[in-house]
Amino acid sequence: MWQPDSLSSVWSSPWQKLSTFQWTTSIGGYSWPSLLVWSLGVVVLFWLVLAVVSALQQWLVNMYRWLFTPCYKNIPFAGKPDNLSWWRYLLYGHASFAAMMAPPSEIASWFLRTRDALHSEIFSYCFMFLAPRIALVSPEAAKHVMVKNVRNYVKPPMVRQGLSNLLGNKGILLAEGDDHARQRRIILPAFHFDALVHLGPIFRTQGRLVVERWLQQQAAAGKTTSVDVHLDMTQVTMNVIALAAFGYDPMTDSGQELYRAYREIFTQRPPSRILSLLFSLLPSWLLRSLPLRLIRRQQRNVSLVKRKVTEIVQKRREEYEACAIMSEKESTKPPKRDLLDLLVAARDPEMEKKSSHLPWLTEEEITSQALTFMAAGQVTTAVLLSWTLFELSIHPRAQDKLRKELETLAATTLEENDSMSQDARLVEKLDKLEYLDAVLRESLRLHPPVLFVTRQAVQQDEILGFPISPGAIVNIPIVALHRDPQQWGEDADTFSPERFIVGRGAADAARQQHHPMAWLPFLYGTRACTGQRFAMLEAKTILFELLTRVSVRLQPGCEVKGYGMVSVPRDVHLQVFDLYKE
């Protein structure tokens, strides 16, 4: 039995004789609590030493590059900002202004101001722990990395590490070179427009469910209520991706479990924001070994999502194989209900000709793709919808104009035919609406869900006359290019969908003269987003369902901020008004 005369006994050294305390249970004269505390101390110390050594090693590698690679030396340097103390500078570098730690509009303004001050579209700056980066604040430089010499620029270890914890290493997002080209060839047909319009019923039903919930909420309250728009858009895009990507019903119990786990992983509020930063800075095995509740929960969620998705893929593959055997006998084709059916059935046409390898994706690759679609396609589209509704809520004229366009389409009778349902026909028509398209493009310009693209050079290269050494890390600040007055005119910070409508007078023509790569929410070239069409069709259909039923206004006093890697809008509360009751 333990008789604590004083708690300090627990902290005393085991090498110190315990003359003043009586312990009836001990080993070699040392008490159990004392031994326990010391062992814990040793484990914590060991972990800290590992973390410091690992961070130091990364820092030294970066400093080595910084000091000895001519590439960084010959590029204008942003310098230490006057308003940043030395210790903050050593710790965060310019990341306080130039990374997800600041609101997106401030990030954009820092890149543009620094470019103008240095008179150079390419300049170097420091990321955290003084890790050097090269900013490419120029559409031509971005074009070089994305199109002209795309194979020379790969995802750096820091980006891979953060993503692979959730996605595994086999998906298209993390593949490089020939492996990436092969996966892209196989996957792209699943995102063909003809395949996507058939997802129309899913997009429409989910849009209607949200608006009905809003109206019920309002009816129950008996007065104007407000909704947290990002929360609802997260739910709707999660449902869409679960149903459209792998026919998984999010309304079932196990669907809800998946939804909750998934939402927690992607909730970018502190401290999980710090956690995702740590996951990209320190080796994940080191972080996973930490006995922190937050990390344990994060890992539990990641394992749950992976397990569920793997189960779905295995089941579908078995179904497909059984169906393929049947179809040989009965000349019917296996079903193509969602993206997963298309992935399971997809073949690589080039490999099939050579037949040297399996021409289809492996089970592990399909699982990784499915996880990638969820990660790459859900949060981004939720962010797009939330910011669009926010902009429309503070620009009533744009909202009315859009509603007129949508109502005209709603009043049109759409004939169903053998190959297309009415919903599919509607989605096809929605895709051609000029103003709807312009609204979404403008929203993506001001609030790109992906703020930056970071790449690492493999071989020596040159961008706009500046030498780029192997290992150099370049950063395309999409958010800055999208708000550059040189590209978009003096009203670059203003929401104006008209700038995307071609051929409306001389003034508009001048505003429309931007470099094609000055707008790159989905990137360009062979690494461009494969889900671009999916996202746009989904957003268009959901906006159609919402805005033909309700109008939205920003709740008075609401202070909206964007934060995090995917510029998640925080605290966007909208008042919703039933159009048929006003």
Binding site for ligand HEM (CB under 6 A): 172-173, 184, 372-373, 376-377, 380-381, 384, 449-450, 453, 521-523, 527, 529-531, 534-535
Annotated binding-site residue numbers for heme:
529
Q: Exposed, middle or buried: residue 38 (CB in 10 Å: 0-12, 13-18, 19+)?
A: middle
Per-residue tokens: 18: 């315990």
Nearer to ligand HEM, 211 or 383 (CB): 383
Per-residue tokens: 330: 């009965």
Rounded least distance, CB 173 to ligand HEM, Å: 4
d(CA 373, CA 357): 25
Give me the amino acid identity at 77: F
Annotated binding-site residue numbers:
529
Rounded least distance, CB 385 to ligand HEM, Å: 9
Interacting residues of 12 by C-beta distance below 8 A, sequence separation 6+: 18, 34
Nearer to ligand HEM, 12 or 388 (CB): 388
Interacting residues of 59 by C-beta distance below 8 A, sequence separation 6+: 129, 130, 131
CA distances from 330 to 152, 316, 323, 324, 559 (A): 49, 20, 10, 10, 61
What pairs with residue 381 in β-bridges? none
Rounded least distance, CB 102 to ligand HEM, Å: 20
Rounded least distance, CB 459 to ligand HEM, Å: 19
> Helices marked H in 447-526 — which ranges?
478-481, 485-488, 505-511
Rounded least distance, CB 306 to ligand HEM, Å: 17
Instruction: Give me the DSSP letters along 142-181.
Output: HHIIIIITGGGEE--HHHHHHHHHHH-S-STTT--HHHHH
Nearer to ligand HEM, 30 or 200 (CB): 200
Nearer to ligand HEM, 113 or 148 (CB): 148
Interacting residues of 209 by C-beta distance below 8 A, sequence separation 6+: 236, 239
Nearer to ligand HEM, 31 or 138 (CB): 138
Instruction: Work out the angle at residue 165's Cα, subtended by the Cα atoms of residues 162 and 171, and round it to the nearest 5 degrees.
Output: 95
Nearer to ligand HEM, 184 or 570 (CB): 184
Rounded least distance, CB 72 to ligand HEM, Å: 22
Name the CA dihedral angle for 207, 208, 213, 218, rounded to a multiple of 10 degrees.
Answer: 110
Q: Which residue is nearest to ligand HEM (CB)?
A: 531
Report DSSP state, residue 446.
H
Nearer to ligand HEM, 97 or 524 (CB): 524
Rounded least distance, CB 542 to ligand HEM, Å: 12
Q: Exposed, middle or buried: residue 253 (CB in 10 Å: 0-12, 13-18, 19+)?
A: exposed
